[in-house]
Every structure is written in structure tokens, then in C-alpha cells.
Structure 1
Amino acid sequence: MGWLDLARFTGYRYVPVDGNTEEMPSVSVWGSFKHSVFRRLYGEKSPEEAELVSILDKRLLGFAMLGYFLKVLDMTNLANAYISGMEEELNVQGIDYNWMYTFFWIGYLLMQVPSNALLTRVRPSLYLPCLELLWFILTLSMGFVRSVHAIFAIRFLLGLAEAGFYPGMIYLIGSWYTKEELGKRSSLFITAGSLGGLISGVMQAALLKGMNGVLGLSSWRWLFIIDASITLLLSTVGFLLLPDYPNNTKWLTQEQRELAVARLAKQGRSSTRKSLNLAVFRTIFSSWQVYAFVAAWMLGHAASEGPHQLGIVAKKVGFDAVTANLLTSPLTLIDMVCIIGNGYLSDRYQTRKWCIVIPSTIGVIGYTLLGMWVQPFGFLYFAFLITVIGTKCTNSIVMTWVTEVLGESMEHRALIVGIMNTCTGIQHTVIPLLLWPVTDAPYFTTGFRFSVLLLMGFIATAFLIDALHKRDLRRTTKRKLSFNVPDGGDTFLNGHAMAMEARVDDAGMAEMLGPVALEVKNHDAAEVYLINRHSHSSQDMHYDMSKGDIERN
């Protein structure tokens, strides 16, 4: 990438010398900062590829982050409404409030897998905004509801509508970004939810104070109305901006679609949808991936619940309610920084295993200190701090790893992501009762100590996934490949000697056996590239070594 190419993305100011515009530019401080951010987000890419990724960041990632931010706001709205007048106005009694959450989770869990399965059959640019539109209607209905039983029905339908967003966005993000880009984008998406949790209380408190009685509506009703209005805006933007898949997004040029497909194909990633039938489900449940990744996802989520108890612990040991809430804010900020930082490191060093193992080891230390109930409170707070560092930044890495390992099948990836989220949703209804009952506060001895075991299981699962994936790669690359050379063809592969056949060994080296040469440019994805010099054209071809066949991209 030349200086002029970088200028398009970083805002450099050029000062031609003797008419030579390719001289090194003078750089403003702001331009230097943007250049630094650009290099970290886009790496060493051609101008065309960097422009494509920039478009995806603005359209796809921007929509995903705003949608997840709103989802977290919606999840907290019910609790804020309940304590702000809903209980008295609708005569909520007994465990009615708990049933509101229960009906939501029933709908949410029922729709996880079907929604992602449907997403592989329809256009995401229509399906996901339609979910947002349904979300808008139901959230708006909460602002005008008149009975508890009506809330039960709305909450169930709202669970169905919201179920497809998170796994659907994880699936769609994984359908576009390469493995060098995916960790950072997944972490930014997850961080948007943390940001929603951080500012939701402040934003909603302002709405409750300023909107009570406006147009004859209680302040708690305005929470849902305003949230619904933002959701409607998001849905409208989604219809206009969201992409479909790399091979069929209409607002990309033909060259950009070909580039989007080619850059994923170079990593062994498929952009082609295949049939979805019972054979697909049989294949999924006979593979190790579904069990290993579901176990990792459940263990990681279960082990990350401990830091949420800080507010309760602080209040029980004598802090007032305001101070107890304020003590949790720094941990949320640290959580966001760690998520983004770990995502960047996982992309930078191309490792998912160690970006799970190292933080989780720190989390083990934190939970051990919490289980020992270290004193004074400053030491206990430090233990919470390192527990957050060790447990909150790994979930986005697991999702990134799923996308990489299952990149060859869009259907397998979509269904396994849905299964993972369904299992953790079921788990969330049980874990708080078993490990974090309020009656155990402030010590939570069972929860803190058992979380050490959860993290150790999480670490072991990461090593297992890495070992099984490497085993699969070794089996794949040992396959023997044969290629036919056109009559009179002058076929070379990146300047190597010609051979008729090529065999790839464990080290990724090609053994020349005939008149075609083979070079492995990406051993992990088991890819080869064939260049036809006779016709003076370059063609990328992806050879699926696990099946022994050839696919032209």
C-alpha cells in the first residue's frame, strides 16, 4: 500500500516535492492517530480490501453494536419499570414479576436454533431488520399495557423476537471477516453490550425523572416507548445498510463481491449455502465440535458470574447503596478494555487458545482470593478486579474460534452457535440458584470456590479443542492430491518446478511428484493456489483436501 493509498483512509496531508506526489507526506497529529488506528484495524491490505472492510465496519458492525446495546437496555427496562411504578399501577403481586422473566426466557430459548437455521435460508438484510421491527412493536406495546397477563404474552413474544439477534449477528459477522479481523470485531460487538449496561441506569434515571406524566403516561411507560422508537430507527437502517452474504450482497460492486468471496476462500471458508436437512443435524451431533464448544461456552459463562456479586457483597459488608453501585462501575470499564484488548491480541498473534488460557489462569487466582475472603476490603476489591480481567474477556474469543473451526460449512456454524446460546440460556436459569443465592452473601463461599473448578474445566476444554482441531488438520493435509495439466499448458505454481502430483506433509511442505507444483500458503486452512501462466491470467483455486476434490472460487 503506497502513501496515496493510505491517504484515503487516514487523512494524511500530502506536500508534493517537484511534482512528485509519491513523496512522503507531512503528517498531522490527528492523521498520525488515525493511521495508527487504521493499521491496527485493517493491517496490511490492498486499498480495495481495506475499503471493503471499512464498509463492513460501518454497515454490519455498526448495526450489530447498536442492536446489542439496545438489547441490553431492553433487558434492564423491566427491572427499572418495576421499581418505578409498574408494580402499583398494574397491581403486580406475588411472583408475577418472576413470571415475566420466565415467559421471556421460554420464548428466547425456544427460538435460538430455529432462528439461526432460518437465517441460512433467507436474506439477513431482510430477516434481521424484520426481527427488529417485531421487537419495536412488542416493546412499544409494553408502554401501553394494562394487565399483568398481557405482559406475560408480550414477554413471551418478545423472547421469540430477540432470540435471533445475538446468534444471528455472530453468524453474519463470521460470514464476512477473515480470521485476522474477526477477534477484534467480535470483541467490539460484545463490548457494546457492556456499554449498554454501564450507561443504562444513568440514561433511564434521566428519563424517569423528566418524562413522568408527559402526555398522561407514567415514567416507566416512557422507558419502553423511547426504547421502541430507537429500535424502529435501527430496523429502518438495517433494511438499508445490512449486507447479505459475500456472493449476493446487491449494494457491493461485482469486484467487491468477488474480493469478499476470494479472501474467505483463501482461508478455507465457504460463502456458499448448502441444503439444510436431517443429514446436517446427524453430522453436527456426530462431531466433536458441538460438544467441545458447547462445553467451553457454558463453562466460560458460568465462571464469569462471580464479579456480578460485587454490589451485593459491598452492601452486605456495610457500604450504602450508592457506594455499592459506584464500586461496580470501574469493573465494567475494565471489562470493556479487556474484551477489546484480548480480541486484538488474539488477532495479532493468531491464537485463540492462549487468549483463553492466560486470562482464565488470572481468573483462577482471583476466585481463589475471593474464596479465602481476603481482608481488608481493598484486597477483596483487588480480587474482584483480577477476576473480571480473567473471566470477562474470553467469551468473544470462543465465538471467534467457532467461526474459524467451522468455516467450511455455514449451516454447521449457524446451528452450533444457536445450540451454544440455547444451552447457556438454560444454564443461566439454574446457576444463580445453585452458586449465588443471596442467602450466601457476602461470603458466597460455594460460588467462589466452585468457580475455580469451572475455570479449570474451561482451560482444559480450550486445550482439548486445540488438540482436536490440529489433529483434524494433520489428517487433512496428509491426503494425496492429483491435478491434470491442460494440453500444452505452461502451468507453474508461484514459480516452482512442475510436478504431476503433490503430497503435503505435516510441516506444510509440498512433495513434487509430477508436472504440477504445489505450494501451501496457508497450512492451517490447507489451501493451495494455482497460477496459469500460459494464458497470462491468475486464477485462485481452493482444493478441499479433506474430500479430495477441487472447488474453483
Structure 2
Amino acid sequence: MYFLNFVDRNAIAQARLNGLEDDLGMSGSEFNTAVSILNVGYILMQIPSNMLITRVKPGACISGWMLLWAGISGCTAAAKTYGGLVACRFFLGIAEAPFYPGATYILSIFYTHNELATRVSLMCCGQLLATAFAGLISAGVFAGMDGLRGLAGWQWLFVLDGAATAVVAMLGFWLPPNTPRSTRWLNEEEGELAEARMKRDRIGDALDKATAWEGLKQACKDGRTWLFCFMQMFHLSACAFNTFFPTVVETLGFDITTTLLLTCPPFVVAGIGSVVVGWSSGKLDDRTWHITAWLLVAVAGFVLAVSTLDTAVRYVACFIFSVGAFSVNAIIVGWASSTLSQTEEKKAVVLAMTNVLGHIGQIYGAYLWPKSDGPRYGIGFGASAGFALLSVCCAWVVRAWLIRENKRICASTSEPVNLHSY
């Protein structure tokens, strides 16, 4: 489901290489606006959807939204003007918004804080593999279907992506889990076990059950929420190259088909790295040092990419900054979930809020990669390096805060408690 979430969202990046801008009469920064506007719709829907998800069956909920975005994605092929494309992108953002925070919420009610990062990183492989294989899919569609039945290759791409998403969405009404007690393929004993595991994992400052609005208030009043929000915002700002990756690879000087094929390997490696780093973080019960180390790897890749136009060196840099930047996403999400899970309602809102502020970075990040700045793209790579360093700073502030909280919890109780991890 997450694979298709990103395939549909980023199809515009491949469509650009097949004449999308020319066919719709686009010029200047209009493509950047079409990329950016999706995040506006995405931001508007995230918090309301995750306030609702604790009151419905979450698996069925995200499947319903998936069916809606499948239809909108397919309809993008019918866009005849720049305005039509922008409208489709805005509503696609609204429809796609509930999936990621909803899916991470589902994982967070089944897996403990030491297990969560690995599971989220496995799910996030869907995003990375989508970016990797979208180029292969697009290359095949553009080569074999461009002009078929009067439709351009980029139009066929949107139609086929939407159709595949609709099929998976229908299966999603039966297959995903809901809560431990309401998942159809868990028996009563298994549901009790899953629920008991999570109760034992609750941290020392756990609260009683709350309403959806109380969960929103709890999240907003907790200063740690905002630190995680800014950490994720800076991190995703550093990852804004994702949508423009085919454009960056195009600067290597190959034809369109080869360019699309070359976008695949860096993200396959990034997917493997994400799982390994997520597993290592949970195994060692460490968050700060993992985030620091891998975002510094990303910074090194950004610096290398902007410092040369040599084809081989620049392509190696694509591997380095992709692995470094994307390896920490699951750690940040899992860290926020386990730290701010005093109630299920608060946790659901926190997951949405971190993603909301994260995607604010994607709105302005789209304008950091103007075509006029090519082929070096110094603005985009330089800003990405700076955002990565700011995310690292946020991680260390959170670490210091949690160390202080752990000391307070230990001093106030004689009972054994699960303390915040950092």
C-alpha cells in the first residue's frame, strides 16, 4: 500500500521526462508548484484523519482512502491544463494524507518501542522501492505505450498506476489488521497477548484513556511533540530531492530511458539501509547516535554531489545521500511514537502532527530545485545539507530533555517503570 502511495504521488516526476510540461503548456516554476500543492492538501487532512482513526477500524479506514486516491490518480491523465493538474494534485494530497500516519499508528499498537523502528523501516521500504522502481515502470510505459490510442505515455502512466492502486485498495478491506481485539485473523488468545504486550511497554508517565479532542490537547501541550515535529520537518526538507531525483540524474547526460533506469539502484540500496539501520536502532536501544551518524552521511553525499559534475562521482553521491537521508525516517517516527504514547489518542495525533510539519518542509522544498539552477543544483543540495544538520540538533535537544525526564520519573516512584529511550 505504501509502495503505491508513493508511485501515485511521484508519477509526476517521471511524467516530466515524457513531455508533461509541454503538453499542458507549463513554464517557469509551474512544475514546482504542481509538486508543492500536493503537500498542502496532505497537511490539511492528516490531523483530522488520525483523530478519527482511534474511533473506527483503522485498516478499513486507510483502505477506503486508498480507493479514493486511486481514482484521483487515474483522473490526472485527463488533465488538459496546468490548472487541472494542480487541482488533481491538491485533492490527491487530501486523499493520500491519512495513509502514513494511520499505518504507523496501526504498527504502534502492535509493536513495542524497541520493535517499532524495524517495522516502520520495513514499511518505509515501500516508499524507497516505489522511487526506485517507478523509473523502471515508467521506462516501459513510455517506450511501449506512448501514443497508444491517442494517449501520451505520461497519461498511460497515471491510468495504470491508478488501476493497480484500486485493486490493492479493494484487498485492503479484508487483509490489514485493525486493533488487537478487532483483527479478524487473530483469535481471542492472540488478541489478548498482543494487547498485554503493549500494556507492559507503556512508559512511566502513561495516562488514562482520553477522547480524541483530549488527545489533541495532550499532544499540543507537550513541548516534546514540537521538538519531534521540527526534527521531522528538517529531516523531510533534506529529503525534498526525492521528487526531483529523475531531474538530478538527467544531469548525468544519458537518454530518458537510461536516466529512468539509473534512478532505481540508489533507492534499492537506501531501502536495505533503512531496514538495517532501523533494526540496529531497536537492537541497541539507541536513537540519537543513529540519527546523527546517518544524517552526517547524507550531508557528505550532498556536498559531494554539488562539488562536481563528474558522471561517476555524482552517481556515487546519489547512493550516499539517499542511504543517509532515508535511513533515519523510521527511527524518528518510532521515537516519537514510543515517547509520546501516554494515551492512544495522543499517540495518534502526535504521529499525524510530526508528518504534518514534516510535509511543510516539502512545500517550500519543491522550490529549492528550480530548473534554472541545473545542472549543479547548488541551492537544493546546499539547503538539504543544512536541513539535515538542523534535524541532528533537534535530536540532541530531545535526548537532553528525555534524560532529565527519566531522572524525574525515577525520583518520583519506587515501582519499576519503562523509561524513555534516547
The question of a shared fold, defined as TM-score above 0.5 by the shorter chain, is answered with yes
Which 10-residue stretch deviates more, 309-318 or 416-425?
309-318
State the SS of the aligned residue for 1:132: helix
Counterpart amino acid of 1:348? Answer: K
Q: Which residue number corresponds to residue 347 of structure 2?
A: 413
Q: Which residue number corresponds to residue 156 of structure 1?
A: 90
The structural deviation recorded for 1:206 is: 2.0
Distance of aligned partners of 1:263 and 1:456 in 2 relative to their CA distance in 1, 3 Å threshold: same
Q: Which residue number corresponds to residue 524 of structure 1?
A: 419
Which 10-residue stretch deviates more, 410-419 or 449-458?
449-458
Residue 284 of structure 1 pairs with residue 284 of structure 2? no
Distance of aligned partners of 1:151 and 1:428 in 2 relative to their CA distance in 1, 3 Å threshold: closer
Q: Distance in 2 between matches of 1:190 and 1:87?
A: 30
The structural deviation recorded for 1:193 is: 1.1
Runs of 5+ consecutive residues of structure 2 not aligned to the other structure? none
Would you say the 8 A contact 2:309–2:376 is kept in 1? no
Counterpart amino acid of 2:289? Answer: W
Residue 262 of structure 1 pairs with residue 190 of structure 2? no
Q: Distance in 2 between matches of 1:150 and 1:310?
A: 24
State the SS of the aligned residue for 1:240: coil
Q: Which residue number corresponds to residue 65 of structure 2?
A: 131
Q: Which residue number corresponds to residue 210 of structure 2?
A: 274
Q: Which residue number corresponds to residue 396 of structure 1?
A: 330
Q: Distance in 2 between matches of 1:93 and 1:312?
A: 16
The structural deviation recorded for 1:204 is: 2.6
Would you say the 8 A contact 2:240–2:362 is kept in 1? no
The aligned runs of 1:437-448 (5 Å cut-off) are 437-448=370-381
Counterpart amino acid of 2:364? Answer: V
Residue 353 of structure 1 pairs with residue 248 of structure 2? no
Q: Which residue number corresponds to residue 296 of structure 1?
A: 231
The structural deviation recorded for 1:195 is: 0.8
Counterpart amino acid of 1:182? Answer: L
Query: Which of 432, 449, 470 matches 2:403?
Result: 470
Q: Distance in 2 between matches of 1:213 and 1:320?
A: 19
Would you say the 8 A contact 2:37–2:86 is kept in 1? yes
The structural deviation recorded for 1:70 is: 0.8
The aligned runs of 1:7-156 (5 Å cut-off) are 67-81=1-15, 84=18, 92-94=25-27, 100-101=34-35, 103-143=37-77, 151-156=85-90
Q: Distance in 1 between matches of 2:174 and 2:49?
A: 21
The aligned runs of 1:370-389 (5 Å cut-off) are 373=307, 378=312, 381-389=315-323
Distance of aligned partners of 1:382 and 1:273 in 2 relative to their CA distance in 1, 3 Å threshold: same
State the SS of the aligned residue for 1:266: helix
- Structure showing greater relative contact order (alpha-carbon pairs closer than 8 Å, 6 or more residues apart): 2
Q: Distance in 2 between matches of 1:437 and 1:120?
A: 41
Q: Distance in 2 between matches of 1:139 and 1:211?
A: 18
Percent of aligned pairs with the same amino acid: 28
Tell me which protein shows more strand as a share of its residues: 1
Residue 343 of structure 1 pairs with residue 278 of structure 2? yes
State the SS of the aligned residue for 2:65: helix
Counterpart amino acid of 1:204? Answer: S
Q: Which residue number corresponds to residue 176 of structure 1?
A: 110
Which structure's CA Rg is the greater one? 1
Query: Which of 423, 431, 438 matches 2:357?
Result: 423
Q: Distance in 1 between matches of 2:287 and 2:316?
A: 27
The structural deviation recorded for 1:325 is: 5.4
The count of residues paired between Structure 1 and Structure 2 equals 418
Distance of aligned partners of 1:181 and 1:195 in 2 relative to their CA distance in 1, 3 Å threshold: same
Distance of aligned partners of 1:185 and 1:384 in 2 relative to their CA distance in 1, 3 Å threshold: same
Would you say the 8 A contact 1:175–1:271 is kept in 2? no
State the SS of the aligned residue for 2:201: coil
The structural deviation recorded for 1:339 is: 0.7
Q: Distance in 2 between matches of 1:85 and 1:383?
A: 28
Residue-by-residue CA offset, 1:194-247 (whole Å, 9 max, x unaligned):
111111122133234444566665544432332222222212211111222123
Residue-by-residue CA offset, 1:283-340 (whole Å, 9 max, x unaligned):
3222122111011111222234468877666665766666665654432232122111
Residue-by-residue CA offset, 1:426-458 (whole Å, 9 max, x unaligned):
222213434x44434444445545544433332
Distance of aligned partners of 1:451 and 1:256 in 2 relative to their CA distance in 1, 3 Å threshold: same
Distance of aligned partners of 1:136 and 1:365 in 2 relative to their CA distance in 1, 3 Å threshold: closer
Q: Distance in 2 between matches of 1:394 and 1:73?
A: 21
Q: Distance in 2 between matches of 1:330 and 1:358?
A: 22
Runs of 5+ consecutive residues of structure 1 not aligned to the other structure? 1-66, 481-502, 505-519, 527-553
Tell me which protein shows more helix as a share of its residues: 2
Counterpart amino acid of 1:476? Answer: I
Distance of aligned partners of 1:384 and 1:195 in 2 relative to their CA distance in 1, 3 Å threshold: closer
Q: TM-score with structure 1 length normalisation?
A: 0.66
Q: Which residue number corresponds to residue 460 of structure 1?
A: 393
Residue-by-residue CA offset, 1:464-492 (whole Å, 9 max, x unaligned):
21221232232223224xxxxxxxxxxxx
Distance of aligned partners of 1:150 and 1:267 in 2 relative to their CA distance in 1, 3 Å threshold: same
The structural deviation recorded for 1:79 is: 4.5
Q: Distance in 2 between matches of 1:98 and 1:368?
A: 23
